[in-house]
């Protein structure tokens, strides 16, 4: 899947662009390169609908002149001269940020668990076989169940970065992931559920994920009469909670947003902002983390940093540019990069983002069954629609869900066809809550990856049955 010399060739291309930068006597420059390879299978209507494979990649160039920066991207090193002129032209038309310079090299470090040779050795036939096994496993669990959508894929990639201040590094990573939408359509009643998983190493939980998808498609078939609008405890599964958490909390922890008063935690540094048994950590060096790396998007060494410690806001996330801009504008007295620069790819400049964000509790964690018993009466929400509409400045949200179960006297009595869910994430996290005992990795609406458990939120949420 990945050519043996992929990293070396990519680094050679980046160095070629760097030479052009030097020949143009640029004040400061930064070159990044990406090259990805992979195989993927699309699933639809209970069968394989598309198989694809191949590679893609390119180079990105950022130039800085007198605090101004410009960005350009190119397919290969042959377009270096034009990219330099484009980036320089943009920089000269951009506002200057006093004190903004590219980071210097601060040494090297390694993050483990980012490469699995078994993935690199996978062929398209291996992925096809895995897809067939997924389809047959769903049918074996329930003859009515059909994979209505989704897919599976495996990939490997190389990344490099060089800048004029001595940073030069690169590495290889792998990934293996799949997601399936399972539907059961019987007696004019359709229910469906989506589940997925991804990993830097070969997936080991495929069967468990399939079982969860079939389970939720089954359990939501037992519909009951809708109740009344109520403020009540809500048990949000890790999958249901992750979209809302990722839309609101990472944004609230951005240094720039806090400094500009655009976070519901602005002017609250050092204060208690959530329940005192909770801690939020951004761990960019987590072994095997989906957003782990030895350096951030600007080449700064990454680390594990505690942002909220025992309920108190202790620090925030910064990239080099954002830190310099907030100091220059007088929004903060001092700020510097925390190794939190993230990129959407080689085609875009870096911005501030989280890596692997974890929500932890110093209290005993609980199984889902014990959380249901503790809730006594309320609802279980497994997925939400419209999480992207949550307000990252206030923490307010109003979403809908078709995967919601009613709990009475500690027992699941049935599901609602649909319900609205509203509240405020900040207030809910500051109230009475308990965490589950299993951490699951989920994607993000903002940046990075969320590593969250089930969360029983006893206050701050409202259910509005449709």
Residues 6 or more apart from 302 whose CB is under 8 A from it? 109, 111, 284, 285, 292, 293, 294, 295, 296, 339, 355
Nearest residue to 39 via CA among 74, 1, 9, 72: 1
Question: Do residue 109 and residue 26 come from a single domain?
Answer: yes
Does 352 reside within a domain?
yes
Asked if residue 380 belongs to a domain, the reply is: yes
Domain termination site, one of 219, 253, 284: 219
CA angle (64, 65, 67) in 5-degree steps: 80
The confidence score (pLDDT) of residue 443 equals 81
Domain-located, residue 1: no
Find the length of the chain. Answer: 466
- Domain check: are 343 and 383 in the same one? yes
pLDDT at 444: 80
Asked whether residue 239 falls in the same domain as residue 382, the answer is yes
Q: Does residue 224 lie within any of the structural domains?
A: no
Residue 78: CB atoms within 10 A of its CB come to 11
CA neighbours closer than 13 Å in the CB half-sphere of residue 454 = 21
pTM of the model: 0.95
Q: Nearest-CA neighbor of 163 among 67, 88, 72, 62?
A: 62
Residues 131 and 194 in one domain: yes
Q: Is residue 385 part of a domain?
A: yes
Instruction: Supply the pLDDT for residue 226.
Output: 78
* Shared domain check, 260 and 197: no
- pLDDT at site 460: 85
What is the model's pLDDT at position 109? 87
Whether residue 202 is found in the same domain as residue 277: no
Q: Are residues 235 and 327 in the same domain?
A: yes
Query: What's the pLDDT tens digit per position in 78-130?
Result: 999 999 999 999 999 999 999 999 999 988 888 999 999 999 999 999 999 99
Q: What is the residue range of 118's domain? A: 6-219
Q: What is the DSSP string of 213-260?
A: HHHHHHHTTSB------EE--EEE-HHHHHHHHHHHHHHHTBHHHHHT
Residues 246 and 359 in one domain: yes
CATH of the domain at 89: 3.30.2290.10
Q: Is residue 137 included in any domain, yes or no?
A: yes
Helix (H, G, I), strand (E, B) or coil at 262: coil
Reported as a single tens digit per residue, the pLDDT across 199-245 is 999 999 999 999 999 999 999 999 998 778 889 999 999 999 999 99
In-domain check, residue 300: yes
Q: Where are the alpha helices (DSSP H) in 332-409?
A: 368-375
Residue 225 lies in a domain: no
* 124-141 helix and 206-219 helix, angle to the nearest 10 degrees: 40
- Point out the domain boundary residue: 157, 190, 219: 219
* Spatial distance between the Cα atoms of 200 and 292, rounded to a whole number of angstroms: 10
Supply the pLDDT for residue 459. 87
> Tell me: the pLDDT tens digits for 443-452?
887 789 999 9
- Name the residue with tokens 């002129």: 85
- Report the domain count for the chain: 2
pLDDT of the residue at 39: 96
Pick the last residue of a domain from 219, 248, 277. Answer: 219
Place of tokens 């330099």: 84
The pLDDT assigned to 211 comes to 97
Q: For residues 100 and 125, give the distance between their C-alpha atoms in angstroms, rounded to a whole number.
A: 50
Intervals of the chain under pLDDT 70 = none
């Amino acid at each position: 899947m990945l050519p043996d010399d992929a990293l070396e060739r990519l680094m050679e291309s980046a160095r070629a662009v760097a030479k052009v930068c030097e020949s143009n006597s640029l004040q400061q420059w930064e070159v990044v390169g990406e090259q990805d390879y992979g195989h993927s299978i699309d699933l639809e209507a209970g069968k394989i609908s598309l198989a694809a494979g191949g590679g893609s990649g390119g180079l990105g160039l950022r130039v800085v002149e007198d605090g101004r920066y410009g960005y350009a991207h190119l397919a290969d090193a042959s377009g270096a001269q034009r990219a330099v002129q484009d980036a320089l032209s943009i920089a000269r038309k951009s506002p200057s940020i006093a004190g903004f310079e590219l980071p210097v090299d601060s040494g090297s470090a390694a993050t483990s668990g980012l490469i699995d040779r078994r993935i690199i050795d996978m062929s398209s036939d291996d992925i096809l076989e895995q897809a067939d096994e997924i389809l047959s496993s769903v049918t074996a669990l329930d003859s009515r169940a059909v994979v209505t959508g989704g897919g599976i894929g495996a990939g490997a990639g190389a990344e490099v970065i060089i800048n004029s201040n001595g940073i030069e590094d690169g590495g290889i990573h792998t990934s293996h992931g799949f997601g399936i939408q399972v539907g059961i359509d019987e007696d004019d009643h359709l229910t469906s559920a989506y589940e997925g998983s991804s990993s830097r190493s070969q997936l080991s939980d495929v069967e468990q994920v399939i079982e969860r998808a079939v389970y939720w498609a089954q359990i939501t078939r037992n519909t009951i009469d809708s109740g009344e609008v109520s403020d009540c405890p809500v048990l949000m599964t890790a999958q249901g909670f992750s979209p809302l958490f990722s839309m609101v909390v990472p944004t609230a922890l951005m240094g720039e947003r806090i400094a500009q008063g655009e976070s519901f935690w602005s002017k609250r540094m050092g204060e208690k902002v959530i329940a005192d048994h909770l801690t939020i950590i951004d761990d960019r060096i987590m072994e095997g983390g989906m957003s782990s790396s030895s350096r951030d998007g600007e080449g700064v060494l990454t680390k594990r940093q505690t942002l909220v410690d025992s309920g108190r806001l202790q620090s925030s996330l910064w990239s080099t540019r954002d830190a310099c801009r907030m100091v220059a504008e007088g929004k903060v007295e001092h700020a510097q990069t925390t190794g939190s620069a993230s990129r959407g790819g080689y085609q875009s400049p870096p911005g501030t983002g989280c890596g692997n964000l974890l929500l932890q509790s110093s209290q005993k964690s609980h199984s889902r069954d014990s959380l249901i018993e503790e809730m006594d009466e309320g609802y279980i929400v497994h997925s939400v629609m419209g999480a992207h509409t949550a307000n990252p400045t206030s923490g307010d949200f109003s979403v809908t869900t078709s995967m919601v179960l009613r709990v009475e006297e500690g027992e699941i009595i049935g599901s609602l066809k649909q319900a609205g869910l509203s509240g405020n994430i900040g207030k809910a996290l500051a109230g009475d809550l308990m965490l589950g005992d299993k951490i699951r990795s989920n994607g993000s609406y903002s940046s990075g990856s969320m590593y969250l458990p089930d969360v029983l939120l006893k206050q701050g949420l409202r259910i509005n049955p449709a």
